[in-house]
Amino acid sequence: MTAATRITVRGDDPYDVVVGTGVLAELPGLLGAGVRTVAVVHPAGLPELSRPVCAALEAAGYEVVSLPVPDGEDAKSVHVAAELWSAFGRYGVTRSDAVVGVGGGATTDLAGFAAATWLRGVQVVQVPTTLLAMVDAAVGGKTGINTPEGKNLVGSFHPPRGVLCDLATLTTVPRQDYVAGLAEIVKGGFIADPTILTLIEDDPAAARTPEGEHTRELIERKIQVKADVVGADLRESGLREILNYGHTLAHAIERVEDYRIRHGEAVAVGLVYAAELSHLDGRVGRDLVDRTRSILESVGLPTSYRREAWPQLRDHMRVDKKARGAVLRFVVLDGVASPARLENPSEELLEAAYQEVAR
């Protein structure tokens, strides 16, 4: 066990994100007073992730209920959420009890949504086990499920009681899943913390592995970026929108792929698209676009997508969560660590940027 780092997410309901290796013993301390029953939501196909969590909670004296759910995005449906609500009722989860989400971003999104909606809100502690979930999905209080019309269109803002990132679990993550999580770290570098970009550029091979020299620093820096943003703007009324950099196209790609593409891979393409928009709108030079491609490609992430998919992608953008009425909104850059908003860009600009992505 290494000494844990505690990153505080401020706001009306502040909480800590605990980061370290072998830090599972910290979990019971993240739960509030008066908790008797803890419902542990975890992927059915990965019981090895939930067993030590359940054991740590049982050793601390809690009554633990293990609730397996489908793996990946299949978990994020109203049907699965309804099954969790029924289980909460059967096992007597009360307003003073807790939900613990263990797994990747899909599981933590679902667990958070189920906790937010059961009895109008019970506390949730997130235990992310993938890179993507640690640096993005489990931090910030956004919860949600998917519908046939789009990703995360049904959801709630429900900050967790705490988040526990045990870096030891990253050694079990398949390599391509780990690499996909790097897209969110790269995003954090471009919108807020340029040191992230420098660390990756200095040693891309090390960045591709959880055993890399700078792995913990990269993770903690990206968590700090998100903590700073969501602590100031929980409900995405202003500043928090910068976290959507690259995501408008990414969510459309996920829809076209029927969620069979990794979220981080879609985000990587979306980052290139957002950089191209920034350049073609006259905000940044070609060097920022080239740097975006270079960093992403150096760690093994995609930077282009199919040319013929544009009409479908454009249709899916119309129902993106960031749209306001008929106005489509994009996060763009005026420079590294200088995000801005682009509202209602012309169709010519949107397509021209995509042609650069597709070439």
Choosing from 172, 191, 212, the residue where a domain stops is 172
Question: Do 98 and 160 fall within a single domain?
Answer: yes
Q: How many structural domains comprise the chain?
A: 2
Q: Is the pLDDT of residue 12 over 90?
A: no
Q: Is the pLDDT of residue 44 over 80?
A: yes
DSSP string across 217-269: HHHHHHHHHHHHHHHH-TT-SSGGGGGGTTHHHHHHHHHHTTT-S-HHHHHHH
DSSP three-state, residue 43: strand
Active site residues: 120, 142, 184, 226, 236, 240, 244, 247, 251, 263
Domain with 73, as residue range(s), is 5-172
* Mean pLDDT to the nearest integer, 16-23: 96
Express each pLDDT in 344-354 by its tens digit: 999 999 999 99
* Mean pLDDT to the nearest integer, 75-80: 96
User: Which residues sit in the known binding site for Zn(2+)?
Assistant: 184, 247, 263
Question: CATH number for the domain including 16?
Answer: 3.40.50.1970
User: Which residues sit in the known binding site?
Assistant: 71-76, 105-109, 129-130, 142, 151, 169-172, 184, 247, 263
- Label residue 166 by pLDDT band (50, 70, 90): very high
Question: Do 221 and 281 fall within a single domain?
Answer: yes
CA atoms within 13 A on the CB side of 125: 25
Would you state the pLDDT for residue 150? Answer: 79
Express each pLDDT in 245-282 by its tens digit: 999 999 999 999 988 999 999 999 999 999 999 999 99
Question: Do 124 and 207 fall within a single domain?
Answer: no
Question: Do 341 and 352 fall within a single domain?
Answer: yes
Cα 132–chain centre separation: 6
Question: Do 119 and 62 fall within a single domain?
Answer: yes
Question: Do 188 and 146 fall within a single domain?
Answer: no
Query: Cβ(27)–Cβ(160) under 8 Å?
Result: no
Express each pLDDT in 202-229 by its tens digit: 999 999 999 999 999 999 999 999 999 9
Would you state the pLDDT for residue 8? Answer: 96
